[in-house]
């Protein structure tokens, strides 16, 4: 395939063409030429006013339901949604039935994604069936293609189990994930413990439930060594703990969900179950600390934490609703409400090697792995913007800025039909 992209602004700090407008010629998946006024016969030409192009984006936490919960999302449609949302690589959570806890299930989900424009990077469970009792087949899953190991939204309650996992995974360079929640502190809480939870009569989860678990995990990491990733932190104290751990030289990374950056627990006033997420929406003080930490590099990744939930488990009483929100479609537009385009792209493309995603800068003779977006468009996020099978978006009705319109990856072009 020969593709010619006309007059695109390149956003890539690693490229000599950063913030410059240029034509890009791609042939057989390789960038053949970058320059002005390239004239050549091509199979496809893209010429879109205001088009921006960057390295392909990575999302470190997505759930697709399949196998077992196809009514929420299939791998095929999930990857399609990711492509139109600008992501070339997604890390798939082990949230399915059966759970992804052995090499066979790793091979299975990879096979379902084979030949797709988006690279699917599977996470295997840390424990058998995510029950938190026995370690899963980490080594075998790693050989099959798992890029990390963690029980999605389930904390490792047994500290000795996490200790053993960190020690064992060092034998093959495995990345262990530990969800930051001390269940005995959280109790029956379902939202952030603050004045809003009191006003609304909803049981609260204190920041301490997250902070205490992270402090424990970092202490274990310091003792064992190894590689640890803490997904979706949400509190000011968590930032301070991880910052101190990095100063000590511990091999620790963490992420934050986009909704925990942009939204607060003030959104709960309408008892809308789309705002029921885990970790819960916190306060403005926490979001400010998280934004600063992301800019400073204390937080390594931002994730959509895309989690489709079927209507039967979402449109019910608040206490009974499942946690989770879809987020791929709104990710770029939501981030741009708090960061510049240059900052947003840098955040979405950094530290890819942590999850074994291939890095490719915009330069001649390099692999063409691109995200396409229009950064200036302002709009209200509506149901018509949703591509997922499930409709449970926490960003419905929110004002966003900028739209992703597709990708080029694996020698395949996926771009919105309106262009």
- 395 domain residue, yes or no: no
The per-residue pLDDT for 417 is: 83
What pTM was computed for the model?
0.96
The per-residue pLDDT for 418 is: 77
CATH number at residue 250: 3.20.20.140
* CA angle in degrees (0–180, nearest 5) for 338-5-375: 15
Instruction: Note whether 61 and 125 are same-domain residues.
Output: yes
- Per the structure, the count of domains in the chain is 2
Instruction: Note whether 281 and 373 are same-domain residues.
Output: no
Dump pLDDT digits (tens) for 296-320: 999 999 999 999 999 999 999 999 9
- 391 domain residue, yes or no: no
Residue ranges of the chain with per-residue pLDDT less than 70? 419
Instruction: Note whether 36 and 72 are same-domain residues.
Output: no
**CB of 409 within 8 A of CB of 119?**
yes
CATH number at residue 367: 2.30.40.10
Instruction: Note whether 218 and 310 are same-domain residues.
Output: yes
Residue 231: give the domain boundaries: 57-355
Dump pLDDT digits (tens) for 78-106: 999 999 999 999 999 998 999 999 999 99
In angstroms, the CA 254 to CA 291 distance is: 13
CA–CA distance from 66 to each of 71, 72, 112, 399 (Å)? 9, 8, 10, 31
The per-residue pLDDT for 202 is: 95
Instruction: Note whether 110 and 92 are same-domain residues.
Output: yes
Q: Catalytic one among 211, 300, 305, 310?
A: 305
Written as six digits, the tokens of 46 are 């893209």
Examine the residue annotation and report whether 351 is marked as an active-site residue of this protein. Answer: no
Dump pLDDT digits (tens) for 5-14: 999 999 999 9
Instruction: Note whether 146 and 266 are same-domain residues.
Output: yes
Instruction: Note whether 125 and 257 are same-domain residues.
Output: yes
Count of other CB atoms within 10 angstroms of residue 171: 11
Q: Which residues contact 160 (CB under 8 A, 6 or more apart)?
A: none
Instruction: Note whether 63 and 47 are same-domain residues.
Output: no
The per-residue pLDDT for 388 is: 97
Instruction: Note whether 14 and 100 are same-domain residues.
Output: no
- 387 domain residue, yes or no: no
């Amino acid at each position: 395939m020969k593709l010619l992209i006309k007059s695109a602004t390149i956003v890539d700090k690693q490229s000599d063409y950063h913030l410059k407008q240029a034509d890009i010629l791609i042939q057989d998946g390789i960038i053949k030429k970058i320059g002005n006024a390239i004239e050549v016969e091509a199979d496809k030409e893209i010429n879109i006013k205001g088009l921006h192009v960057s390295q392909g984006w990575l999302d470190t936490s997505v759930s697709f339901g399949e196998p077992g919960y196809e009514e929420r999302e299939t791998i095929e449609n999930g990857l399609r949604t990711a492509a139109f949302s600008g992501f070339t690589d997604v890390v798939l959570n082990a949230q399915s039935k059966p759970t992804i806890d052995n090499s066979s299930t790793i091979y299975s989900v990879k096979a379902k994604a084979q030949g797709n424009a988006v690279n699917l990077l599977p996470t295997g469970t840390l424990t058998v069936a995510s029950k938190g009792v026995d370690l899963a087949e980490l080594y075998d899953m790693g050989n099959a293609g798992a890029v990390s190991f963690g029980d999605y939204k389930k904390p490792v309650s047994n500290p000795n189990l996490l200790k053993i996992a960190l020690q064992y995974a060092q034998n093959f360079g495995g990345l262990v994930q530990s969800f930051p929640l001390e269940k005995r502190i959280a109790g029956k809480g379902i939202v952030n413990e603050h004045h809003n939870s009191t006003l609304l009569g909803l049981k609260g989860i204190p920041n301490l439930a997250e902070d205490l678990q992270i402090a424990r995990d970092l202490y274990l990491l310091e003792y064992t060594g190894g590689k640890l990733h803490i997904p979706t932190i949400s509190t000011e104290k968590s930032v301070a703990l991880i910052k101190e751990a990095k100063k000590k030289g511990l091999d620790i990374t963490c992420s934050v969900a986009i909704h925990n950056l942009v939204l607060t627990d003030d959104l709960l006033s309408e008892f809308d179950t789309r705002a029921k997420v885990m970790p819960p929406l916190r306060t403005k003080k926490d979001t400010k600390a998280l934004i600063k930490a992301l800019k400073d590099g204390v937080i390594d990744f931002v994730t959509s934490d895309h989690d489709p939930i079927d209507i039967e488990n979402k449109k019910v009483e608040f206490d009974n609703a499942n946690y989770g929100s879809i987020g791929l479609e709104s990710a770029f537009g939501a981030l741009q409400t708090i960061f510049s385009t240059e900052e947003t792209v840098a955040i979405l493309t950094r530290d890819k090697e942590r999850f074994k995603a291939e890095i490719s800068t915009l330069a001649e003779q390099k692999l063409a792995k691109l995200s396409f977006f229009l950064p200036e468009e302002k709009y209200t996020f509506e149901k018509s913007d949703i591509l997922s099978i499930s409709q449970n978006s926490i960003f419905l009705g929110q004002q966003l800025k900028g739209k992703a319109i597709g990708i080029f990856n694996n020698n395949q072009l996926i771009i919105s039909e309106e262009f």
